[in-house]
A and B are shown apart, each in its own frame.
Chain A
Amino acid sequence: MSSDHNPIISVRNLVKRFGLKTILRGLSFEVEKGEFVALLGPNGAGKTTFLRILASLSRPAAGRVTVSGFSLPSQAAAVRRQIGVVSHLPLLYGDLTAEENLRFYARMYSIPNPDARINDVLDMVGLTARRRDLVRTYSRGMQQRLAIGRAVLHDPEIMLFDEPFTGLDQDACAMLGDVLREVAARSRTVVMTSHDLSRAADLASRFDVISRGIITASAHSQDMDTDLLLSFYRDAIGAK
């Protein structure tokens, strides 16, 4: 490791408990700026829990978590400015229009020149034509796209995606994939959890596998054939 090795996300020995159950057991994890990491793993492995901790929505029980130079949970507010989160729930108000939703979040993030930014974002996710429609009239795919718009509104360095393709049909998935690629392209760092190996293979530059509360394997996509991905994954979760 060079002396100025400065990962944008650094996690050491993270422990998280829910009641009496330990979900994350001393998980360690590092992401360099610009990487697109796909976090794979079976249900209950702790993917969503881990992502929520990175998103500052959940507090670690023990361990060190540093995001963008700020540590969690003490500097959570600073971390929040640097991250954009897309989960399988859209985090949007159904009774407001797309534009109103974005305007609300622009206020909450104290974004300068909100109108211009909102226009840009709507353009990027392809929803300018339907900006004055209520979100509850949107299809699931459109809601997810607007959700991504909400997540990039404040131009965060890091994107966290939690199972973003859930509940989408083929077309919507393809469209979402395009948007994600564009979002990631602007030298953003991305951590994405996914069940869907093929989607992950398409987008990610690195694959990490979580099993039973720790990372059991990590590989760069350039070092791996996509057909080998499945066996890589199976080995990683089978390993004790």
Chain B
Amino acid sequence: MGKSQISIRRSFSGYARAVWAILWKDLAAELRGREMLSAMLVFALLVILIFNFALELDAKTRTSVTSGVLWVTFAFAGTLGLNRSMAMEKDRGCLDGLLLTPVDRSAIYFGKALSNLAFMLIVEVIVLPVYSILYNTNLFNPGLIMVILLGSIGYVGVGTLLASMAVQTRTRDILLPILLFPVVLPVLIAAVKASSGFLQSIPMSEIWPWLNILIVYDIIFIAVAFMVFDFVVEE
């Protein structure tokens, strides 16, 4: 193998190792205390509870509002996770520690985005059966699972970038939802419609446009985040 080929392979495996290291570190730290996960879960359940009274979810209306309730819940619980995850790096100057390592900055973005995605999926995986039981609705639907995955990827893709900025400002926690929600709307709209579609078993041809929006959004914003992340963490 030529020298340049070896170094390309080495730098790629170094990159992948860094992403994995960051993901593993976040999971290990969180699974030890589980403070963030419990907060996200309790918050999610409280939101569902509030919706129960706010919307009077009787059996008939339930089918049409389920996906809306779920996604609002995920969106709000998600900000908790994003905030906490980035605050952990700000604490004790750890972000500098990451920036001092010889890896490309985008590896930090991917590592954090993956760990944020992992936490969001864990919360979603727990909320789904709980909601099913509380409201006697069957949410075990592969189409729904796919939408949750695509939607969470988009949410976390943009959220990680914006949270990295928000955590460096004075107004921190309260700023993230303000920055995130207007920009992540296409994901929420498409995810709600696609989820509804799968739950109500409407024909795939009508669901496809929504899935397309999700996929396009995911690709565009992960690409943009990849390109601008350097500017967000470096001086």
Chain A: residues with CB nearer than 8 A to chain B?
A: 52, 55-59, 77-78, 80-81, 83, 85, 87, 89-96, 100, 104-105, 107-110, 134, 150
Closest Cβ–Cβ distance, residue A126 to chain B (whole Å)? 21
Residues of A within 8 A of B234 (CB): 57, 59
Closest Cβ–Cβ distance, residue A93 to chain B (whole Å)? 6
Give bound CA distance, A80 to B18, whole Å: 15
Residues of A within 8 A of B9 (CB): none
Assess whether A91 is in contact with B97, with CB atoms less than 8 Å apart: yes
Interface status of B96 (Cβ within 8 A of chain A): yes
Assess whether A105 is in contact with B97, with CB atoms less than 8 Å apart: yes
Interface residues of B in 67-106 (CB under 8 A from A): 88, 91-94, 96-104
Closest Cβ–Cβ distance, residue B16 to chain A (whole Å)? 11
Across the A-B interface, the 6 shortest Cβ-Cβ residue pairs: A89-B93, A91-B97, A107-B21, A95-B29, A108-B101, A80-B102
Interface status of B56 (Cβ within 8 A of chain A): no
Assess whether A108 is in contact with B92, with CB atoms less than 8 Å apart: no
Assess whether A96 is in contact with B25, with CB atoms less than 8 Å apart: yes
Give bound CA distance, A222 to B18, whole Å: 44
Residues of A within 8 A of B100 (CB): 55-57, 80, 83, 85, 91
Closest Cβ–Cβ distance, residue A53 to chain B (whole Å)? 9
6 example contacts (A-B, Cβ-Cβ < 8 A) are as follows A80-B100, A91-B96, A93-B94, A95-B88, A96-B25, A105-B101
Closest Cβ–Cβ distance, residue A21 to chain B (whole Å)? 14
Assess whether A93 is in contact with B235, with CB atoms less than 8 Å apart: no
Contact mask B46-62 → A, CB, 8 Å, 1/0?
00000000000000000
Closest Cβ–Cβ distance, residue A96 to chain B (whole Å)? 5
Closest Cβ–Cβ distance, residue A110 to chain B (whole Å)? 5
Give bound CA distance, A230 to B99, whole Å: 36
Contact mask B10-27 → A, CB, 8 Å, 1/0?
000010011011001100
The B interface is mostly helix, strand or loop, or mixed, namely: helix
Known: A89-B96, A93-B29, A105-B101. 5 other contacts (CB 8 A): A56-B100, A59-B234, A80-B100, A81-B102, A96-B25
Give bound CA distance, A83 to B102, whole Å: 10
Query: Please, which residue of chain A has its CB at the minimum distance from the CB of B31?
Result: A95
Query: Please, which residue of chain B has its CB at the minimum distance from the CB of A83?
Result: B100
Give bound CA distance, A87 to B92, whole Å: 10
Interface status of B203 (Cβ within 8 A of chain A): no
Assess whether A107 is in contact with B92, with CB atoms less than 8 Å apart: no
Query: Please, which residue of chain A has its CB at the minimum distance from the CB of B33?
Result: A95
Residues of B within 8 A of A107 (CB): 17-18, 20-21
Find B96's partner among A57, A77, A95, A134 (CB 8 Å cutoff).
Answer: A57
Assess whether A150 is in contact with B97, with CB atoms less than 8 Å apart: yes
Interface status of B32 (Cβ within 8 A of chain A): yes
Known A-B contacts A55-B100, A105-B97; the reply to A93 vs B92 at CB < 8 A is yes
Find A57's partner among B14, B94, B99 (CB 8 Å cutoff).
Answer: B99
Closest Cβ–Cβ distance, residue A229 to chain B (whole Å)? 30
Assess whether B235 is in contact with A59, with CB atoms less than 8 Å apart: yes
Which of A89, A108, A110 counts the most B-chain CB atoms under 10 A from its CB? Answer: A108
Closest Cβ–Cβ distance, residue A101 to chain B (whole Å)? 9
Find A92's partner among B18, B92, B99 (CB 8 Å cutoff).
Answer: B92
Closest Cβ–Cβ distance, residue A147 to chain B (whole Å)? 9
Residues of A within 8 A of B94 (CB): 91-93
